[in-house]
Structure 1
Amino acid sequence: MASRVGNRWKFTKEWEKAVNALRVDCECEIVLTGSNARLLSGELTTLLAGRYVEIQMFPLSFDEFLEFRKDSGEDIHKSFDAFLRFGGLPGLHELQASPRATAQYLNDVFNSVLLKDVVSRNNIRDTELLNRIIQFIFDNVGSTFSAKNISDFLKSQGRKLGVETTYNYLDYLENAFVIERVKRFDLKGKKYLETQEKIYAADVGIRNSVLGYRPSDIAGILENLLYLNLRQKGFRVSVGKMGTLEVDFVASKDEEVLYVQVCYQLTPENLEREIAPLKQIKDNYPKLVLTLSDLMTGDIEGIKVRNLVDFLAEPIANF
């Protein structure tokens, strides 16, 4: 069923059939938007098979964030601090940088997504348990995990949740674009691993609105931002495993591969530890270490060390 409101159409039951009818009867482009990955599932996919292009929308990348703030007069480092704290939702830039309004906006967006696309859609009754799972995930961005880790954590708090049910909750959150799950890739065996994946928040501002911004979490937040930036630049991303060592990100696009490590403060003391996984990789694809330590930038045995802020600020169109 469909009804027209102004110059827009409002669909209720069997809306996918109405969309298909419009496609057949009208010479027009149809844009469908939704906040859940299940939009292009079921009958809609059958009706529009081969006739649609799916475009996943991300929060603003840092270069887009800078474009919104270009008239503010602030330097790039102050803008980056704001990006770390508040993330990349475009609606932030209508709030005139009011901290209270920003916090309320992020909280409202999170609660809206949680209630509409997670709780209601999946008939979840125990919202308090769901919130504990979300807090655990956001508190451990960038750390390898298993569903058993979450179950054990809840058990320590007097709550029981089976591993299978935990995976269901993770699916619900991923379908609602609250989180993204990243598999590990064995660089020696050339295969994806089924255990110890990583989870990142779909927006660090949402993550910080749930937990509060804590400077002690900076390493995980930087890793989260870099993951999102690689995805925004069109890369498929996995976590690399090289024996007992780990490469933060293996990013691939077309026939190209990029290996990336991110390190908050790179020093002579931790330099070898950070580049060791990259030195084990013998192919000729680019290898990067990204850091906030300007004094450590340069080239080390073919591994480029660059400033993380500069990398994030590069326009997506360049990739």
Structure 2
Amino acid sequence: MKRIERTAYLNKLIAFKDKNIIKVITGIRRCGKSTIMEIFRDWLLGNGVKDNQIIYLNFEDYDNYELRNPHNLYAYIKPLILQDRMTYIFFDEIQHVSDFPDIINSLNLKPTVDLYVTGSNAYMLSSEIATLLSGRYIEIAMLPLSFKEYVKGTDSSNNLPQAYTDYITRSSFPYTIELGTYSEIIDYLTGVYNTIVVKDIMARKRLPDVMMLESVIRFTADNIGNILSTKRIADIMTADGRKIDPKTVERYLSALCETFFVYETKRYNIKGKQLLKTLGKYYLVDIGLRRMLLGSRSFDAGRILENIVYLELLHRQKKVYVGKMDSLEVDFVAIDENNISYYQVAATVRDETTLQRELASLQQINDQYPKYILTLDEDPTADYDGIKRVNALRWMMGDVSL
């Protein structure tokens, strides 16, 4: 399999190397968590670390089944820990180990242990587990490939519009680059989807109705970028003959968010600079999954681009919200430490009416933070009294001239 060097994640791991803090790598299944561990292990070996300083265990490998027992695992690991040099321990899919917080905390107490763990669902960072690891871990949240990573992995920088079409049609999951036909990709995505639904959601949450769960999934996938409430979802689904109550919808959506299948985005009052409790939006982790679920009828260039821009902002380590400016909406408010940036997203703004509509909410914001309109229009960058209209693909590629 072609290995894509995911520099941003690698640099973050390097930055926390040898620090007395547990590195917890989270993300949806098959997004590349095991690969980034492999990349980092190779980096260690290339920078003076010896083979006997590295311990790697994947708990989804049946060869390690007995080590899912915490007593067996600790008995196996303890003799391998070096006393005079750092031992780098990598636990892949740690959620399979019973009482794993106790093991992790115990190993982290040892001065010559540097610990890295992955997990495919948020159980390992639920409120109870987070309390047990409080103050002793950092979460590195992974996503499938960004557009820039996809372009690099497919050597397609000479034709960004075609690369974008492939990106949203085929999938951002790394392994899909190795697959030839679209039917092969659909089969692969179906396998990923079924594993998430059956193993990560139905089994762990003990949900009684898989067909209703899949109805919620399809409804959410069909409504990316729409303001939603659990009551509205329940009312629409019930009207369509799929009777469900708001509490059940909330439970299902929570499970989808915990497995990183769906991301919830809260609303943010720009004037009051505070989060609003109701009516957020939901975005999918991968547009290829959306196409697999809904078919080609699901193609909506504007909403798909909005979903992709949202994921790109997450890739850039931003906290992302839906902005509310009086009666108007700003697609995204992205906050990074003390910096804020505002984004409107549209497939095209060549129509003057559309352009003025996208400008309107940004024009109401009086601060001096950057404001952008991102589109698929292949036009030169334009400036409207400080609001920049830029090509979304060049923006995702990190065009510094923007």
- Same fold, judged at TM 0.5 (above): yes
Q: Distance in 1 between matches of 2:365 and 2:181?
A: 47
Identify the match of residue 88 of structure 1 among 172, 184, 202.
172
What's 1:52 paired with?
A: 137
Q: Distance in 2 between matches of 1:215 and 1:158?
A: 21
Contact 2:146 2:312 in 1 (8 A): yes
What's 1:297 paired with?
A: 381
Report how many residues are paired: 315
Shift of 1:20: 2.8
Identify the match of residue 227 of structure 1 among 296, 302, 310.
310
Amino acid of the structure 2 residue aligned with 1:12: V
What's 2:361 paired with?
A: 277
Task: Determine helix, strand or coil for the equivalent of 2:330.
Answer: strand
Q: Distance in 1 between matches of 2:142 and 2:260?
A: 10
What's 2:224 paired with?
A: 141
Contact 1:250 1:257 in 2 (8 A): yes
- Larger RCO, structures 1/2 (Cα 8 Å, 6+ apart): 1
Q: 1:262 to 1:120 in 2, by over 3 A?
A: same
Shift of 1:261: 0.4
What's 2:23 paired with?
A: none
Identify the match of residue 33 of structure 1 among 114, 118, 134.
118
Q: Distance in 1 between matches of 2:97 and 2:323?
A: 44
Structure 1: gaps (5+ residues): none
The answer to whether 1:204 aligns with 2:287 is: yes
Task: Determine helix, strand or coil for the equivalent of 1:294.
Answer: coil
Amino acid of the structure 1 residue aligned with 2:152: E
Amino acid of the structure 1 residue aligned with 2:367: D
Shift of 1:49: 3.0
Amino acid of the structure 2 residue aligned with 1:219: G
Q: Distance in 1 between matches of 2:298 and 2:221?
A: 14
Shift of 1:88: 1.5
Amino acid of the structure 2 residue aligned with 1:284: Q
Q: Distance in 2 between matches of 1:295 and 1:13?
A: 56
Q: Distance in 2 between matches of 1:73 and 1:185?
A: 35
Shift of 1:106: 1.1
What's 1:79 paired with?
A: 163
Q: Distance in 2 between matches of 1:222 and 1:244?
A: 23
Contact 2:151 2:163 in 1 (8 A): yes
What's 2:254 paired with?
A: 171
Q: Distance in 2 between matches of 1:290 and 1:8?
A: 40
Identify the match of residue 237 of structure 2 among 142, 146, 154.
154
Task: Determine helix, strand or coil for the equivalent of 1:299.
Answer: strand
What's 1:67 paired with?
A: 152
Q: 1:74 to 1:107 in 2, by over 3 A?
A: farther
Shift of 1:277: 0.5
Q: 1:42 to 1:233 in 2, by over 3 A?
A: closer
- Could you say what the CA RMSD is over the residues aligned between the two structures, in angstroms? 2.4
Task: Determine helix, strand or coil for the equivalent of 2:300.
Answer: helix
What's 1:187 paired with?
A: 270
Q: Distance in 1 between matches of 2:277 and 2:302?
A: 25
Contact 1:266 1:296 in 2 (8 A): no
Q: 1:101 to 1:74 in 2, by over 3 A?
A: farther
Identify the match of residue 307 of structure 1 among 362, 380, 391.
391
TM-score normalised by length of structure 1 = 0.91
Q: Distance in 2 between matches of 1:306 and 1:8?
A: 42
